[in-house]
Amino acid sequence: MTGIRRGLSVLSVLLLAALTACGSDSGAPAGRSLTVYAAASLQKTFTDIGARFETDNPGWSVDFTFAGSSDLVTQLTQGAKADVFASADTTNMDKAAEAGLLSGASVNFATNTLVIVTAPDNPKKVASFADLAKPGLSVVVCAPQVPCGSATEKVEKATKVTLDPVSEESSVTDVLTKVTSGQADAGVVYVTDARGAGEKVATVDFAESSAAVNTYPIAVLTTAADAAAAKKFVDLVTGDAGRKVLSQAGFAAP
């Protein structure tokens, strides 16, 4: 009798294990991820929007790679896999399109404008874009191939002011860091970056920035593992919820 009981006990364990295994193979996957390549200036807003996406789509997570738009396009053309690409300008999105990386047309979702940032209280008394060319002032800008750098060059042409930066950075967040860390007296960044830095910087607006407004496009990539989910993320960014987050950060409508 004892042997029979032991046999039944073993059989029960085996049946339970089999049922558990079958149950784990059915239904939706335990977790899925979306990979988004986005311009460095979108880090705060997209992180917030990503959290909203995860809440709205249980079982999904959003993994971000933030960098200068030109660096991101280079990575994508060299074979990096992602589901969504958001650029800080249309030029780099056009490069992605020409390389056959886009699954459908891109959508413009925001615009951004340049400002000057200095140390708190503006100790060097920078009051205009022309002041950035004064001798003895250490200025940092984005590299020309980066959207914020390209926009800065447009302002230089419009104002006929030639800057002599101490460094040219690969992303706008690197420019901001140079200023907040005291490595530079002033830098040219986006309105959104200056706002995000809060009291760490003083902000100097200049009228000529209107000559170099950057438009931000977003698109689903051909390498998207789940095009429908990628489209959901794009729709969230371009919809009312995304627009609210972007507006609060200082981005203007496209």
The verdict on 104 and 122 lying in the same domain is no
Let me know if residue 7 belongs to a domain: no
Q: What is the pLDDT of residues 35-56, one digit of tens each?
A: 999 999 999 999 999 999 999 9
Q: Using DSSP, how many helices (H) and how many strands (E) does the chain show? A: 9, 10
Banded pLDDT at 161 (limits 50, 70, 90): very high
CB contact at 8 A, 237 and 160? no
The residue-averaged pLDDT of 127-150 equals 96
In this structure, what DSSP letter does residue 133 have? Answer: G
pLDDT tens by residue, 218-227: 999 999 999 9
pLDDT per position as a tens digit, 193-250: 999 999 999 999 999 999 899 999 999 999 999 999 999 999 999 999 999 999 999 9
Q: Is residue 185 domain-shared with residue 61, that is, in the same domain?
A: no
Q: How many domains does the chain have?
A: 2
Does some domain include residue 5? no
**pLDDT given at position 220:** 98
Would you say residue 14 has pLDDT above 90? no
pLDDT at 182 over 60: yes
Residue entry with tokens 């200056």:
194
Mean pLDDT of 166-172: 96
Q: Is residue 16 part of a domain?
A: no
Q: Is the pLDDT confidence value at 30 over 90?
A: no
pLDDT value, residue 23: 40
Is 128 within the bounds of a domain? yes
Q: How confident is the model at residue 31 (pLDDT cuts 50, 70, 90)?
A: low
From first CA to last CA, the distance across the chain in angstroms is: 80
76 and 155 part of one domain: no
The reply to whether 17 falls in a domain is no
- Residue 24 has a pLDDT of 37
Residues 132 and 72 in one domain: no
For residues 174 and 95, membership in a common domain is answered with no
Of 24 and 247, the one with more pLDDT: 247
Mean pLDDT (the chain) is: 90
What is the percentage of the chain residues whose pLDDT exceeds 70? 88
Task: Please tell me the predicted confidence (pLDDT) of residue 6.
Answer: 46
Q: Could you tell me if 105 and 130 lie in one domain?
A: no
User: In the predicted model, is pLDDT for residue 19 greater than 50?
Assistant: no
pLDDT, mean of residues 111-120: 98
Domain range for 208 is 114-212
Cα 36 from Cα 87, distance rounded (Å): 11
Whether 220 and 170 map to the same domain: the answer is no
- Is residue 6 in some structural domain? no
One domain, residues 58 and 104: yes
CATH of the domain at 96: 3.40.190.10
Using alpha carbons, select from 145, 140, 247 the residue that is nearest to residue 188. 140
Same domain, 125 and 241: no
CA 31 to CA 194: how far, in whole Å? 36
- Same-domain status, 138 and 106: no
Question: Binding-site residues for molybdate, please?
Answer: 41, 69, 172, 190
Residue 15 located in a structural domain? no
**pLDDT band at residue 17 under the 50/70/90 scheme:** very low
Residue 10: what pLDDT? 42
Binding residues: 41, 69, 172, 190
For residues 68 and 191, state if they share a domain.
Answer: no
**Residue 28 confidence (pLDDT):** 38
Q: Tell me if 97 is assigned to some domain.
A: yes
Residue-wise pLDDT for 40-99, tens only, equals: 999 999 999 999 999 999 999 999 999 999 999 999 999 999 999 999 999 999 999 999
At 12, is the pLDDT very low, low, confident or very high (cuts 50, 70, 90)?
Answer: very low
Q: Are 235 and 182 found together in one domain? A: no
**What distance in Å separates the CA atoms of residue 218 and residue 81, rounded to the nearest whole number?**
16
